[in-house]
Amino acid sequence: MKFIKKRARGIILFILGIIILVNLFSNNTQLINIISILALLIAIIVTIIEKKYKTENGGKKKG
């Protein structure tokens, strides 16, 4: 699970980096809005998956 969390964080950071690059190199605000909405959706999905995983294991943390 730690691996999945790290990977999810990495993906979110990667998407944020793309948004920043798009902001720097283009004036297309609609594209930026679409990318930011997608990033938010991915973050929400990741948190839902994490919550489901925790409840399935009885909320116990290993380590």
Over residues 33-55, the pLDDT tens digits come to 777 788 788 878 888 877 777 76
DSSP state of 60: P
Name, in order, each residue with C-beta under 8 angstroms of 37's C-beta and a sequence gap of 6 or more.
none
List the Cα angle 63/10/36 in 5-degree steps: 135
Which has more confidence, 27 or 56? 27
Helix (H), strand (E) at residue 1: none
Rg of the Cα atoms in the chain: 15
**pTM attached to this predicted model:** 0.45
